[in-house]
Amino acid sequence: MAAPPVIRQLDLELRNIRKRYGSFTAVDDVSLKVEPGQFVCLLGPSGCGKTTTLRCVAGLEEPDQGGILIGGREVTGDPPWKRDIAMMFQDFALFPHMSVARQVGFGLEMLKKPKAEIAKRVAEVLASFEITQLAERRPGQLSGGQKQRVALARAMITEPRILLLDEPIGALDYSLRETVMLELKSLQRRTGISFIWVTHDQNEAFSLGDLVVVMNHAKIEQQGPPQDILSRPRTPFVAGFIQGNNVFHGKAGRAQGGVLEVETPLGAFGVPLLDLATPAPGSPLSFSVRAERLIERPDESVPNRIALRCITVEYFGAFRRHVLEGAGGAVVKYDQFGALPQSIREGEQITLGWAAENGVLHRATPA
Ligand SMILES: Nc1ncnc2c1ncn2[C@@H]1O[C@H](COP(=O)(O)OP(=O)(O)OP(=O)(O)O)[C@@H](O)[C@H]1O
């Protein structure tokens, strides 16, 4: 007889969560499914509702509408300690008068575990986070990086199903961040605990997340693997928020062979429709083209072409960014691999173009 199918419960499911503060809606109709052991990054500008969403998952806020399931179990209305989660805050929220060893064991103390078991687990966790030598110190005697480890050890000791992290490396020096990011990613992979990581830093979100959830004005604008968000932004907000996109606004023209003509102040361009319905002629819309997808001095075979003047050339580590101006002052960015010889000078007039397949038509509304 065939083995019964294994049903893997989602670690977390948010079903149409809404949270209002008075008349202000901080989280609006947010739905999310987190697979077991997923690294999820909630990404968006300040005030978009990331922290409030996380606090709803933690049980620190109660949503006005919608449901929260953790490990397939409805937890909406349950207090934080009944949710199989742990949380780590940007300021680490360490208890100032408590020794490192005591704080790390605090979660187990709350769960009323026997003293001997707590001592054994604390010793193990301190060793695994390489902070045994700090056991008797107080938070005031720790560096930023050490506080971070202590906060993490404290969160992980109860082996939660989900770890919620609110800007967990935001308080660290830049020099430390990359190392800590790598450590946290490998910790997440090793333990198989789902991480929900709030950040406004897209580099963090794209380098860490299996799933990136982009929020704006209390709503999810797009969610998907980093590659999808980078290559196929679905809304003008996502395209504009993610570095390196040129966003063009215009009106729908004719569609032919799956390519829509879009009329913009810079000219008419062909953009693939892919799975989108053909918009009514004249309806307003937008599309984007990544700055590294532009081609210099394209020949006649390239249908989308713009005459521009180069305003500035800037270096961003591995690439060189050209900022160019077109008709009516529209700004276009063109990125070139930094190791290539510079081919466009400031002040130069130049034609840039792109293959039609590199244009990404946006959906009019968030989805
Ligand atoms: N307790 C509260 N009372 C009233 N408004 C609140 C409260 N908490 C949050 N808000 C508002 O809800 C909105 C979303 O806040 P939230 O902290 O979730 O945003 P965020 O995306 O995490 O921002 P940041 O990156 O700045 O932390 C903000 O406009 C904020 O001012």
At residue 2 the predicted structure's pLDDT band, cuts being 50, 70 and 90, is low
Cα torsion 59, 161, 187, 139: sign:
positive
Report the separation in Å between the CA atom of 126 and the middle of ligand 1, taken as the mean of its atom positions.
Answer: 34
Inter-residue contact 154 to 104 (CB < 8 Å):
yes
DSSP states of 74-130 as a string? E-TT--GGGSSEEEE-TTTT--TTS-HHHHHHHHHHHTT--HHHHHHHHHHHHHHTT
What the chain holds in terms of domains, given with CATH numbers, is 12-231 (3.40.50.300), 243-361 (2.40.50.140)
* pLDDT digits 0-9 by tens, 325-364: 998 888 999 999 988 888 999 999 999 999 999 999 998 6
Residue nearest (by alpha carbon) to ligand 1 atom 8: 52
Can you give the pLDDT at residue 5? 67
What is the token pair recorded at 19? 């949270």
Burial class (CB in 10 A: 0-12, 13-18, 19+), 349: exposed
Please say if the pLDDT value at position 20 is more than 90.
yes
Amino acid at 150: V
Report the separation in Å between the CA atom of 291 and the middle of ligand 1, taken as the mean of its atom positions.
Answer: 32
Q: What mean pLDDT value characterizes the chain?
A: 91
CA distance 63 to 53: 9
User: What pTM was estimated for this model as a whole?
Assistant: 0.89
- In a mutational test of the pocket of ligand 1, which residue from 52, 55, 165, 200 has the highest number of ligand atoms less than 8 Å from its CB? 52
* pLDDT digits 0-9 by tens, 219-241: 999 999 999 999 999 999 999 99
* pLDDT digits 0-9 by tens, 85-126: 998 887 788 888 899 999 999 988 888 899 999 999 999 989
Residue nearest (by alpha carbon) to ligand 1 atom 22: 51
CA distance 177 to 180: 5
CA distance 175 to 15: 39
Can you give the pLDDT at residue 312? 97
* pLDDT digits 0-9 by tens, 132-148: 999 999 999 998 888 88
Give the DSSP letter of residue 262.
E
Q: Is 315 in the pocket of ligand 1 (CB under 6 A)?
A: no
Can you give the pLDDT at residue 366? 46
The 3-state DSSP class for residue 196 equals strand
Residue nearest (by alpha carbon) to ligand 1 atom 2: 21
**Which of 89, 199, 205 has its CA nearest to residue 154?**
89
* Residue 22 Cα: closest atom of ligand 1: 4
Relative to beta strand 259-264, strand 245-256 is antiparallel
Can you give the pLDDT at residue 363? 85
Can you give the pLDDT at residue 92? 80
